[in-house]
Amino acid sequence: MTIELTLPTMTCGHCVKTVTETVHRVDAGAQVTVDLPTQRVRIESAQPREAFVAALADEGYAPAA
């Protein structure tokens, strides 16, 4: 399943690294595509969207509603 999230607090390369690592903690096999200029993340995973939202929020990257 494809999950698309907007992360308003993702502003730099370090943020991209942290977001990618966080996604991989939820699902090590997930495919992650990050578009920093638009603050968008696309995740290909069988895990539920809520698992990624919660993990990212815990790291300070709460998705926009």
Over residues 9-55, the pLDDT tens digits come to 999 999 999 999 999 999 999 999 999 999 999 999 999 999 999 99
Structure confidence at residue 61 (pLDDT): 97
Strands 31-35 and 2-6, sheet pairing: unpaired
pTM as predicted: 0.94
**CA 5 to the chain's CA centroid:** 7
CATH 3.40.50.300 assigned to 2-58: no
CB within 8 Å of 14: residues ≥ 6 apart: none
- What DSSP element (H or E) covers 52? helix 49-58
Structure confidence at residue 43 (pLDDT): 98
CA dihedral 27→17→59→40, nearest 10 degrees, is -80
Where do the domains of the chain lie?
Answer: 2-58
Structure confidence at residue 50 (pLDDT): 97
Question: Is pLDDT above 80 for 65?
Answer: no
Structure confidence at residue 6 (pLDDT): 98
